[in-house]
Amino acid sequence: MDRANRCSATGVRLKQVPIPPDYVVPNSNDNSSGVFLMPDRRSLIHAQPIARCSPGGAATALVTWDAVHIDGDGIAGSHGGSGLSALGGSIRVGELRPGSQGPKHALKVEVYAKESLYRCTIKSDCHRWPATTSDSYSVGLYGILKNNSNSAMKMGALLAIPASIKISALGLETEPGKQIAWTLQNYGAYIVDDTWGPSFSINTEVGPEGSVRSQFQSDWGFSFEQRVRDNTPWVRDMQRVVQALHVVDNNGPHSIGGGGTPRQPLAPELR
């Protein structure tokens, strides 16, 4: 089970992937999607949930996926709730730092599906592009807490702060809160997984180059992950930001980001 202790490897080897000897991912109950660039420098192997509890030891995962290519469309991957990639969307080490404007790409978020997502009645209606699937329990659990009838709020939905809202008017108290708000207005965030509890989660990198959470703590003097009951400036900022989010309902394969003129330049093509 994905909520059992993940440190001990059991069963057969799922895949052989390159991992730096000192790279460690502790046991947790996080979704912990992982992606590995293979020696051909093109193929990507996704897995979830990843753990590697000691340097040089075996890594564990519940499931792996067939290889996708780094120069592909970047959609498919190991977020089990949506089928979306683990490579794109996470806040990376070096982003969200003092003096920065905010990550210059769409983010990935996880929401409390039982409350926040549309109460779908057939599985094909539980997700939307670019998500390729929904959780196995989506029918019968998504949206049941408050009988959510917002059919735009599905797995894979793109959330953003509308251009009509002035970030300066949100009353944000922290610099990283202002940076996150800027990113969410200019790029947005995709729903990729279920938090399985009343919370809102922004995906961050924990990789061989370091941890965003550790860097955040060092830079700003407080933890990235906090509880509502803490009532800190960072908590209040995240509450304000979440309340300002809307679904970009016309986001689709032929109108990425909602179409029209992009608020920011598109990323250059890989070469």
Q: Where are the domains of the chain?
A: 1-72, 107-258
pTM for this predicted structure: 0.93
Q: What percent of the chain has pLDDT over 90?
A: 83
Rounded CA gap, 7 and 17, in Å?
17
Per-residue pLDDT for 11 more than 90? no
Give the tens place of pLDDT for each residue, 12-56.
888 899 999 999 998 888 888 999 999 999 999 999 999 999 999
